[in-house]
Amino acid sequence: MASGPFDLEGKVALVTGGNGGIGKGIALGLARAGASVAVAARNPDKTAGAVAELEAAGASAIGLSCDVTDSAAVDAAIASCVEQFGGLDIVVNNSGVNVRKLPQDLSLEEWQGVIDVNLTGVFIVSRAAYPELVNRGGGKVINIGSMMSIFANETLAPYASSKGGVVQFTKACAAAWAKDNIQVNAILPGWISTEMTEPLRTDMPERYRTITERTPVKRWGTPDELAGTAVFLAAAASNFVTGTAIPVDGGYSIQS
């Protein structure tokens, strides 16, 4: 039977930060579409749990220890993925951290820590994955940005700066790698219920309600609701789509 435009059977995906939140939701979506999935993350216990969930969903899955700010560790993780699965077709750059402070209260270490993971980490992983994607005759890179690529927030200067950089890096790679049949796109999640955003619900209930009311669908998203867009961008269905940044935000970003 011929494969369909959304079929990922035979494809190999690597998802950084794929052991929780948005990353795990995307990893599960790719697995259910037929991909083998390598979860690359720092916490071995969480990674083992995510791999178990993927296997329970019927996927071939492995866990890889990886700090995206460590070039040698990234090289080793990608080499292990290729060795165990035979290649690499899809890269999801999802790893991310955040610090909530006013700009003048940030230390240089806090600023640099967010930039290193959220932006430089995307560069390190993408650069390392590039030759493997070329070896497969093409591939897909999906970078997880944020609606903070669009909006400003007084306490999210390093996060917003890093995610804005991710969108521009996405465009640069899309232009550079089109000749290699590699499509590079970004997803901009809106307000998604994850461990990272849980403090807003518990510690800032008024802010949580304000966000909910501003969102046209009147609720927050869930990690699995990023999966459909990720599968589209990972599959043949998006072969003529590159350099884009797609909001998945319940309509939050269309409000004035």
- Give residue 59's pLDDT: 95
Q: Is 255 within the bounds of a domain?
A: no
Q: Into how many domains does the chain fold?
A: 1
Where b means 16+ CB within 10 Å and e means fewer, 81-108 reads: bbeebebbbbbbbbbbbbbbeeeeebee
> Does the pLDDT of residue 63 top 70, yes or no?
yes
Side-by-side strand order, sheet with 182-189: 61-65, 36-41, 12-16, 90-93, 139-144, 182-189, 245-248
Rounded to 5°, the CA angle 90-96-101 comes to: 160
Residue 203 domain-assigned? yes
Query: Is 221:229 a contact under the CB 8 Å cutoff?
Result: no
pLDDT at 152: 85
SS3 state of residue 227: helix
User: Do residues 18 and 248 touch, judged by C-beta distance below 8 A?
Assistant: no
Average pLDDT over residues 67-96: 98
- Domain of 205, CATH number, reads 3.40.50.720
pLDDT single digits (tens) 137-166: 999 999 999 999 999 899 999 999 999 999
d(CA 202, CA 129): 38
In a domain, residue 1? The reply is no
Q: Please state, in angstroms and rounded to a whole number, the distance separating the CA atoms of residues 77 and 244.
A: 27
Distances (CA, A) of 177 to 113, 124, 133, 204: 28, 16, 10, 43
**Residue 79 included in any domain:** yes
Tell me the average pLDDT of the chain: 95
Task: Note the pTM of the prediction, 2 decimals.
Answer: 0.95
Task: Tell me if 6 is assigned to some domain.
Answer: no
Q: Do the strands 139-144 and 90-93 form a parallel or antiparallel pair, or are they unpaired?
A: parallel
Whole domain around residue 54: which residue ranges?
Answer: 12-248
Establish if 4 belongs to a structural domain. Answer: no
- Asked, for residue 56, whether it belongs to a domain, the answer is yes
Cα dihedral value 119, 125, 128, 133, nearest 10: -110
Annotated catalytic residues are 159
